[in-house]
Amino acid sequence: MGVGIQVTNLNAWYGTNHTLLDINLHIPANQATALIGPSGCGKSTFVRCLNRMHETNPIAKVSGSVQIGEVDIYADASPVEIRRRIGMVFQRPNPFPTMSIYDNVASGLRLNGFRNRRVLDETVERSLKHAALWDEVKNDLKKKSGASLSGGQQQRLCIARALAVDPEVLLMDEPASALDPVSTAKIEDLIFQLKSQYTIVIVTHNMQQAARVAERTGFFLNGKLVEFDSTHKIFTNPGDKRTEDYITGRFG
């Protein structure tokens, strides 16, 4: 089951560049929450703060608190534990190139020392089915490299890989921006199905996409969260002039 995320006074820096300023919001459990905004507004940095990927960059810094369920991820846990509970799908599909499809999906469990063959087999099958990829790859699971799939399939493979470690939250950083419309539609269908079991946070450039998949939408601009409300409200009756300007295409 998914859990809610409470973000309080979150600030983030790259070197001296202050990229996130005092972000406060609550992301509800088992819903999809979309983050929109122009390039460089801080939305990617924000999701990377939610699973402590931000700090993998040596010049990055962060302050404030992020509570996922009962856990304050910056105070109570190591980054490694946090990232197991919070899966991430990146902008460009990034399967492990030397691994088979099966090994890609199993990698999260295996690299954390899990070896039971039967459970691995089951997990791989369940995750690939969840990611709507099973029927397309079930015959070459161990024969083909993950890198030999098409872009859209690779991205679903990456989703399956993230689901295999059984996270509570799934972060998606523009998961469809490198994909064609058919693959994009498949990813969106998937988000629809997955949100009954996971809390989903999706960063997107595509406002229609946000409107289609998300219950709630946040609008970022210049490192600030300008507005956060139900998707319906944001797209039909935004409270802030800047949100309205962005939605109606006056900038960005």
Q: Does 53 bind other proteins (CB under 8 A)?
A: yes
Cβ atoms < 10 Å from Cβ of 123: 21
Strands 169-173 and 86-89: parallel
Q: Which is nearer to other proteins, 164 or 211 (CB)?
A: 164
**Interatomic CA distance for residues 201 and 170, integer angstroms:** 6
Q: Does 54 bind other proteins (CB under 8 A)?
A: no
> Hey, what are 224's tokens?
């600030």
**Interatomic CA distance for residues 69 and 60, integer angstroms:** 25
Stretch that binds other proteins, among 1-9, 29-37, 62-70, 142-150 (CB under 8 A): 142-150
Stretch that binds other proteins, among 5-13, 66-74, 98-106, 225-233 (CB under 8 A): 98-106
Q: Which is nearer to other proteins, 105 or 234 (CB)?
A: 105
Please give the size of the binding site for other proteins, defined by CB under 8 A. 35
Q: Does 44 bind other proteins (CB under 8 A)?
A: no
Q: Does 83 bind other proteins (CB under 8 A)?
A: yes
Question: What are the backbone angles phi and psi of residue 209, rounded to the nearest 5°?
Answer: -65, -45
Coil vs helix vs strand at 90 = coil
**Interatomic CA distance for residues 202 and 217, integer angstroms:** 9
Q: Does 98 bind other proteins (CB under 8 A)?
A: yes
Stretch that binds other proteins, among 30-38, 66-74, 106-114, 178-186 (CB under 8 A): 106-114
Query: Using an 8 Å Cβ cutoff, are 169 and 3 in contact?
Result: yes
Where does this chain bind other proteins (CB under 8 A)? 51, 53, 56, 80-85, 87-88, 90, 92, 94-100, 107-108, 111-112, 140, 143-145, 147-149, 158, 161-162, 165
